[in-house]
Amino acid sequence: MSLTIAESIEAVRSQVAVAKAAGLSVGFVPTMGALHRGHATLVEEATKACDYVVVSIFVNPTQFGPNEDFSRYPRTFVADRAVCEEAGADLIFLPDVATMYPPGPPATFVEVPGLSDVFEGAIRPGHFRGVATVVLKLFGIVCPNLAFFGQKDFQQQLVLRRMVTDLNFPVQLVTVPTVREDDGLAMSSRNRYLSAEERQAARVLSQALRLAEDAVRSGERSADRVRQILASTVQSERLATLDYGDVVDALTLEPLTDLTGRRAVALLAARVGPARLIDNAILPD
């Protein structure tokens, strides 16, 4: 099947309606573009699980704070289109801001309190309100059976899972493991902000997570000692500034003390030069 580009909501609805009328299952991968192998993997997983795959490319202004990188966020549609084609997508939804947010103040938002208020939500107020709202709007436009998200944005997939559960939205979410560069750095559209020296320094995030995993695998059960490993490793890199390094329950994000019998995730965020980078690892049982 060839790749179709739809810029309007009506065009997406009619293409998806044709697919559904033919009995095809619909998979959906929401993105902000500047696509890399992480995004391509999401699309490939969607093509394995679903008959018809929609990718949205929309740099969503409402999830950026006033001093964040909305205006300089990379926009690379020609390359993105090739990535989607190669990965087997059927339809790209490429709306402009006025299509998603018609003029006038938006009146309806989706809030997922609790999960949205900590970590990324504490540092980026309003971020998850913007994410949840745009994703629900996109779900309402695309009506997918399955939607695919990256583990790289661990808190985001938890917030969205809670949203679809609470609102009884008929879509199944699939979380795809983080795709990494050969040296461990989690792929991110924001990695292209890094200079060569900063790119080397950015490896410290995945290194810290590997050390935390190793410690737990070797029997460490104190969450505080694992936190210490995360912090001291990131702080040993001159070009990195730690925002947070924590060990929390992987479903509720509540802080842990003793890891025994808990499904725990290590969450890391650090600034390296002009980029804010996040990464995480589910800790071994």
User: Cα-Cα-Cα-Cα dihedral of 111, 112, 115, 120, to 10°?
Assistant: -30
Q: Cβ of residue 242: shortest distance to ligand AMP, in angstroms?
A: 20
Residue 134: Cβ within 10 Å count: 21
Q: How many residues of this chain interact with ligand AMP, rule: CB under 6 A?
A: 17
- The answer to the question of residue 27 lying near ligand AMP (CB under 6 A) is no
- The nearer residue to ligand AMP, 15 or 175, going by C-beta atoms, is 175
Q: State yes or no: residue 150 binds ligand AMP (CB under 6 A).
A: yes
- Applying the rule CB under 6 A, the residues between 186 and 215 that interact with ligand AMP are 186-189
| Cβ 38 to ligand AMP shortest distance, Å | 3
**36 classed as catalytic:** no
Which of 55, 176, 204, 268 is close enough to bind ligand AMP by CB under 6 A?
176
The catalytic residue among 27, 31, 38, 39 is 39
Q: Which one among 56, 178, 233, 280 touches ligand AMP, defined by CB under 6 A? A: 178
Q: Least separation, in Å, of the C-beta of 135 and ligand AMP?
A: 9
Q: How far is the CB of 111 from ligand AMP (least distance, A)?
A: 19
Tell me whether residue 135 or residue 223 sits nearer to ligand AMP (CB atom): 135
CB of 227 to ligand AMP, least distance (A): 24
* Closest to ligand AMP by CB, 39 or 276: 39
Site for ligand AMP in 89-148 (CB under 6 A): none
Over the window 31 to 70, marking each residue x when it contacts ligand AMP by CB under 6 A and - when it does not, the resulting string is: xx-----xx-xx----------------------------
Nearest to 110, CA basis, from 125, 127, 124, 130:
130
Let me know: does 199 contact 193? Beta carbons within 8 Å.
Answer: no
Neighbouring C-alpha atoms within 13 Å toward the C-beta of 253: 21
Nearer to ligand AMP, 20 or 180 (CB): 180
Residue type (1 letter), 146: L
Stretch that binds ligand AMP, among 12-20, 68-76, 114-122, 173-181 (CB under 6 A): 173-181
Q: How far apart are CA 241 and CA 269, in angstroms?
A: 9
Q: State which of residues 81, 124, 152, 262 lies at the interface with ligand AMP (CB under 6 A).
A: 152
Report, as residue numbers or ranges, the catalytic residues: 39
- List interacting residues with ligand AMP (CB under 6 A): 31-32, 38-39, 41-42, 149-150, 152-153, 176, 178-179, 186-189
